[in-house]
Amino acid sequence: MTRSESLFQRAKEIIPGGVNSPVRAFKSVGGTPPFIASGKGAWLTDVDGGHYIDYVGSWGPMIVGHAHPAVVAAIQEAAGKGSSFGAPTEAEVQLAEAIIACLPSMEMVRLVNSGTEATMSALRLARAASGRPCIVKFSGCYHGHSDSLLVEAGSGAATFGVPSSPGVSQATAQDTLTLPYNDLPAVEALLAARGAEIAALIVEPVAGNMGCVLPVPGYLSGLRRLCDQYGVLLIFDEVMTGFRVALGGAQALYEVRPDLTTLGKVIGGGLPVGAYGGSKALMQQISPAGPVYQAGTLSGNPLATAAGLATLAIIRQPDFYPTLERRTQRLTQGISRALSQAGIPHLGNHVGSMFGLFFSDQAQIVNFAEAAQSDLQRFNRWFHGMLQEGIYLAPSQFEAGFLSLAHDDTLIDRTIEAAQTVAKQL
């Protein structure tokens, strides 16, 4: 028995499913997850001494690579001065200023501890500001595990939501309406019928939780137009895409300005963090400036802000994003070529340093229903084959992958060679 297998057995006795976040358990792909001992640059090392080129990157935040010297030094310096005070610090102000400088839609920002906290708080603010009860989300878009967002649609274009997790009350679920992603006519029909009840529409501008699905041309600008028409607040959940697909996030890339934005991952440099923000008129309704309550003892803590500031300093270098874009394109084209040569039907997407791969013969995939038709068994074989070749991919067909600055051309070519080997076995 390997050390990972032994640890997993121990963990399942004391931690639900043996993990502290469900996808880590490998349930969708089978097998035992490697327990990670360390990471450096683009590499992970497990407790059994296995080495992997990492394309998960802690699900997005490790954009400069694991244990980057500048980030490590910043965390060490901050830790030496104290890890938490429950009081204001200069670093909180500096991180807020750095975020606002890159995202013009955010005139004010509140730091929190996670992406879930950010989206939950943004929706509370939207309901308070509008005086309306309902929100609209899109099937396949994940916005954290707060009750009102663990909801899926019934049959038809949109219905009252029903809970998709036990413990979510019907009363909570019924205020969440779900529509298919990339379907602008469905949004228009719903807002025409019930716009006066809807406080906000929340969307991943690039969907990263159904396997990297891009917005079709005109979709995001169409959402902006419809929200303006019906007085609905538009919330971009950029927890994944913020500072990942571009310095100014997806809103800069697609030139669409949301009313509220939620952030996480990259802005903490690998430490727990989240943020939400928008216009001063909206954000000044947050306590203590206004009546909408939200608080957190560890919000803006010195370690997270230090890691975030160090990371943002690196990614603001002029050639950072063009380099990542070029390398991501090199990777995705190489993998696609390997699969095509082996006669494997597939479809790949990428934007910035975020990518996805579907084993499907469809011409395009634009929503979760289409993504769900992919060949999951083939994906599982692909995943385990690549893992055996030392390539660590997300253990789910419905998760995006990520590159970091540490993924140089040599590592990308090594990954493509692994893909050529595995493709012949599929």
**Residue 50, CB half-sphere, CA atoms under 13 Å: how many?**
19
CA 43 – CA 37 distance, rounded (Å): 11
**Residue 67, CB half-sphere, CA atoms under 13 Å: how many?**
9
In this structure, are strands 354-358 and 43-46 parallel, antiparallel, or unpaired? unpaired
Q: Are 276 and 263 in contact (CB under 8 A)?
A: yes
CA 328 – CA 64 distance, rounded (Å): 14
**Residues labelled catalytic:** 142, 237, 265
Helices 302-315 and 69-79 cross at an angle (nearest 10°) of 160
Q: Are 307 and 391 in contact (CB under 8 A)?
A: no
Q: What are phi and psi of 308, to 5 degrees?
A: -65, -45
* Nearest residue to 382 (alpha-carbon basis) of 413, 414, 336: 336
Angle 334-140-326 (CA atoms, 0-180°, nearest 5)? Answer: 25
